[in-house]
């Protein structure tokens, strides 16, 4: 991996931004600590010097030149630690009193604050903070303090600032490189997987580390998307194969019938009616496919509203009572009380219509079909149970696929799209379709839908 490409990663750039912000914070913290400690010591030193030089100026006013010399000498004797600096000099800057033998070089004789290094003890240059005061017309009074401890603290702070900043920048840079390498490695895995998928290998999946971070969440979402895409493509292939298999026969019969009729001098009207009927069956199949595709695309979701399933069940059952009596099938309907779901009334009615149509089609008379509506706090279930042949457990998944027709149903009319449409409608309503045995005989189909709360006031 080339270094420039590493520096262009978002993780490294975010790390650099964090380093800048952190460095500013560290500098502000050091500045505050410096002001709180070193600044306090400087102000305290200045206050001591100010108090001493004010006191000496008052002594000069009361006792004159000789009295000031005596007071300075007395203070020098009492300063056993040698922390204070006194120098009383004449107009030529010759010492008259104090513990300095000469006026320091590069120190002006004008009044004000000065800082200098003066050789005082053991050949060491001692930093001094002092104030100069003009006394009378030509005399100079300098009072200062040894600021070696203050200078040491300042050096410590400077070293700490330089060292801390250097360590912070170094560690941040190393951390940024490591984070960038880790992020780049995981992104490279995703890119490698997507390239293989683009090459046609839809079985590839993005590796998941199990850390449950945002990149793992992205990988799981990408994998879920790939699963859905693979499932849709498999469905498309299955639909294509099913259309070719299930519609080839009717189209062939229709063509042969038309060819026979075209060879007749006077075409049989019954034959033409059969051709129209077969064409209507083909159109119904394609319309059912288009309806399933539209339902799965979510085109109806924009019109979803609260629907009372008890009224839907009652209306659909009323439509089928006559057909059930004609087939000597007892149709019972338990609508229950109000059960609200969030969805499309026409789609839900179409789903229940398909279920009842299948139940009546495969239930020989005398038999029974029971429709029941059950309501739970979070779910509404519509169940259609019949006493027909049922569906074996190992065939139930296939029965929900498009064009799926079991061997027992081959002799009956149909295109194998009824349950597929019901499944698509249930899934678009965030529900599911469950097939089970209706003991002791028959099939129980349950459409489970999430319940909708009452409308807000």
For residues 93-115, average pLDDT:
83
Structure tokens at 389: 């042949």
Neighbours of 261 (CB within 10 A): 16
Q: Which is nearest to 41 in space by CA: 145, 143, 162?
A: 145
DSSP state string for 152-178:
HHHHHHHHHHHHHHHHHHHHHHHHHHH
- Strand-pair partners of 340: 308
Instruction: Give residue 410's pLDDT band: very low, low, confident or very high (50, 70, 90).
Output: very low
- Domain 298-450 adopts which CATH fold? Heat Shock Protein 90 (3.30.565)
Digit-coded pLDDT (tens) for 398-407: 777 765 555 4
Structure tokens at 2: 């080339």
Distance CA(186)–CA(399), nearest Å, equals 41
Higher pLDDT, 375 or 15: 375
Type and span of the H or E element at 13:
helix 10-78
pLDDT for res 161: 80
Burial track 325-338 (b if 16+ CB lie within 10 A, e otherwise): eeeebebebebbee
Res 315 pLDDT > 80: yes
Higher pLDDT, 382 or 81: 382
pLDDT for res 334: 87
Res 314 pLDDT > 60: yes
Digit-coded pLDDT (tens) for 333-392: 888 788 888 888 888 888 888 888 888 888 887 889 999 998 888 888 999 998 888 888
Q: What percent of the chain has pLDDT over 90?
A: 1
Digit-coded pLDDT (tens) for 177-197: 777 777 777 777 888 888 888
For residues 288-295, average pLDDT:
64
* Phi and psi, residue 178, nearest 5°: -65, -45
pLDDT for res 411: 46
Q: How far is CA 2 from CA 9, 65, 177, in A?
A: 12, 80, 12
pLDDT for res 414: 52
Ranges of beta strands (E only) in 226-344 are 305-308, 329-334, 340-343
- Domain 10-154 sits in CATH at 3.30.450
For residues 94-108, average pLDDT:
84
CB proximity list for 444: less than 8 A, separation 6 or greater = 383, 384, 385, 435, 436, 437, 438
Distance CA(250)–CA(416), nearest Å, equals 14
Distance CA(255)–CA(278), nearest Å, equals 10
- Per DSSP, the chain holds a count of helices (H) and strands (E) of 10, 12
pTM exceeds 0.85? no
Res 441 pLDDT > 60: yes
Res 457 pLDDT > 50: no
Type and span of the H or E element at 449:
strand 443-450
pLDDT for res 403: 59
Higher pLDDT, 170 or 236: 170
Distance CA(72)–CA(48), nearest Å, equals 15
pLDDT for res 299: 60
Digit-coded pLDDT (tens) for 240-263: 655 655 666 666 766 776 777 666
pLDDT for res 191: 83
* Phi and psi, residue 101, nearest 5°: -90, -5
Q: Are 172 and 13 in contact (CB under 8 A)?
A: no
pLDDT for res 5: 63
Exposed/middle/buried for 454, CB within 10 Å: 0-12, 13-18, 19+? exposed
Backbone CA torsion sign across 105, 111, 115, 119: positive
Sorted by where each begins, the domain ranges of the chain are: 10-154, 298-450
Distance CA(224)–CA(230), nearest Å, equals 10
Instruction: Give residue 7's pLDDT band: very low, low, confident or very high (50, 70, 90).
Output: low
Q: Are 374 and 383 in contact (CB under 8 A)?
A: yes
CB proximity list for 131: less than 8 A, separation 6 or greater = 46, 49, 50, 53, 111, 112, 113, 114, 142, 143, 144
For residues 293-321, average pLDDT:
79
> Mean of the per-residue pLDDT values for the chain?
79
């Amino acid at each position: 991996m080339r270094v420039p490409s590493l520096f262009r990663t978002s993780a490294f750039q975010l790390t650099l931004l964090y380093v800048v912000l952190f460095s500013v914070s560290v500098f502000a913290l050091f500045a505050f600590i410096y002001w709180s400690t070193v600044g306090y010591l400087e102000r305290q030193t200045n206050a001591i010097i100010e108090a001493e030089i004010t006191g000496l100026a008052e002594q000069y006013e009361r006792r004159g030149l000789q009295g000031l010399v005596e007071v300075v000498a007395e203070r020098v004797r009492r300063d056993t630690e040698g922390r204070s600096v006194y120098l009383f000099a004449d107009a030529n800057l010759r010492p008259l009193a104090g513990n300095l033998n000469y006026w320091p070089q590069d120190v002006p004789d004008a009044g004000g604050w000065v800082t200098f290094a003066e050789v005082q003890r053991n050949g060491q240059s001692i930093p001094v903070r002092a104030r100069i005061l003009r006394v009378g017309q030509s005399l100079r009074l300098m009072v200062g303090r040894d600021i070696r401890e203050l200078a040491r603290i300042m050096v410590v702070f400077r070293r700490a600032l330089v060292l801390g900043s250097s360590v912070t920048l170094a560690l941040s840079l190393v951390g940024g490189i490591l984070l960038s390498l880790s992020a780049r490695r995981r992104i490279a895995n995703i890119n490698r997987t997507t390239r293989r998928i683009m090459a046609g290998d839809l079985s590839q999946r993005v590796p998941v580390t199990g850390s449950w971070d945002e990149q793992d969440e992205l990988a799981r979402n990408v994998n879920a998307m790939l699963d859905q895409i693979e499932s849709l493509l498999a469905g498309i292939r299955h639909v294509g194969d099913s259309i070719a298999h299930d519609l080839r026969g009717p189209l062939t019969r229709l063509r042969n019938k038309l060819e026979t009729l075209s060879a007749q001098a006077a075409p049989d009207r019954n034959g033409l009616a059969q051709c129209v009927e077969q064409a209507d069956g083909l159109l119904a199949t394609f319309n059912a496919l288009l309806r399933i595709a539209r339902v799965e695309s979510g085109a109806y979701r924009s019109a979803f509203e609260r629907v009372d399933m008890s009224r839907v069940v009652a209306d659909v059952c009323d439509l089928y009572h006559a057909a059930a009596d004609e087939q000597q099938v007892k149709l019972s309907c338990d609508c229950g009380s109000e059960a609200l779901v969030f969805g499309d009334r026409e789609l839900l009615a179409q789903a229940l219509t398909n279920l009842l149509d299948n139940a009546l089609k495969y239930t020989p008379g005398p038999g029974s079909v029971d429709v029941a509506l059950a309501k739970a706090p979070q779910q509404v279930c519509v169940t259609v149970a019949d006493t027909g042949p049922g569906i074996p457990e190992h065939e139930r998944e296939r029965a929900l696929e498009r064009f799926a027709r079991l061997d027992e149903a081959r002799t009956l009319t149909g295109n194998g799209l009824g349950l597929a449409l019901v499944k698509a409608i249930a899934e678009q309503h965030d529900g599911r379709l469950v097939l089970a045995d209706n003991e002791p005989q028959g099939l129980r189909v349950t459409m489970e839908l999430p319940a909708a709360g009452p409308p807000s006031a």
